Amino acid sequence: MSSNSEAKGRIVKALSGYYYVLPQEAESSGQTVQCRARGVFKKRGLTPLVGDDVVYTLTENGEGTVEELLPRFSELIRPPVANVDLAILVFSVTEPSLNLQLLDKFLVHIEHAGIEPVLCLSKQDLEQDGGETEEAAVAIEAVNRIYTAIGYEVYGTSSRQGVGVEALHDRLKGHVAVFAGQSGVGKSSLLNALVPGLDLETNAISNRLGRGKHTTRHVELVEIGGGYVADTPGFSQLDFTELGIEDLGYCFREMRELAPDCKFRACTHVHEPGCAVLKAVEEGTIAPSRHQNYLTFMTEMKERKRRY
29's CB contacts (< 8 A; 6+ apart) are none
Determine whether the annotation assigns residue 263 to a binding site.
no
Say if CB 202 and CB 235 are below 8 A apart.
no
Determine whether the annotation assigns residue 8 to a binding site.
no
Type of residue found at 199: D
Length of the chain: 308
Determine whether the annotation assigns residue 183 to a binding site.
yes
Determine whether the annotation assigns residue 123 to a binding site.
yes
Determine whether the annotation assigns residue 159 to a binding site.
no
Determine whether the annotation assigns residue 173 to a binding site.
no
Determine whether the annotation assigns residue 251 to a binding site.
no
Determine whether the annotation assigns residue 51 to a binding site.
no
Determine whether the annotation assigns residue 187 to a binding site.
yes
Determine whether the annotation assigns residue 42 to a binding site.
no
H helices of the chain, in order, are 39-43, 100-112, 133-149, 165-172, 187-194, 203-209, 245-248, 253-258, 276-283, 288-307
Distance CA 200, CA 188 (A): 6
Determine whether the annotation assigns residue 186 to a binding site.
yes
Determine whether the annotation assigns residue 188 to a binding site.
yes
Determine whether the annotation assigns residue 62 to a binding site.
no
Determine whether the annotation assigns residue 125 to a binding site.
yes
Determine whether the annotation assigns residue 189 to a binding site.
yes
- Secondary structure (3-state) at 102: helix
Distance CA 100, CA 77 (A): 23
- Report the DSSP beta bridge partners of residue 153: 118
DSSP secondary structure of 151-173: T-EEEE-BTTTTBTHHHHHHHHT
Annotated binding site: 122-125, 181-189, 262, 267, 269, 275
Q: Which residue ranges are tagged as binding site for GTP?
A: 122-125, 181-189
Which residues sit in the known binding site for Zn(2+)? 262, 267, 269, 275
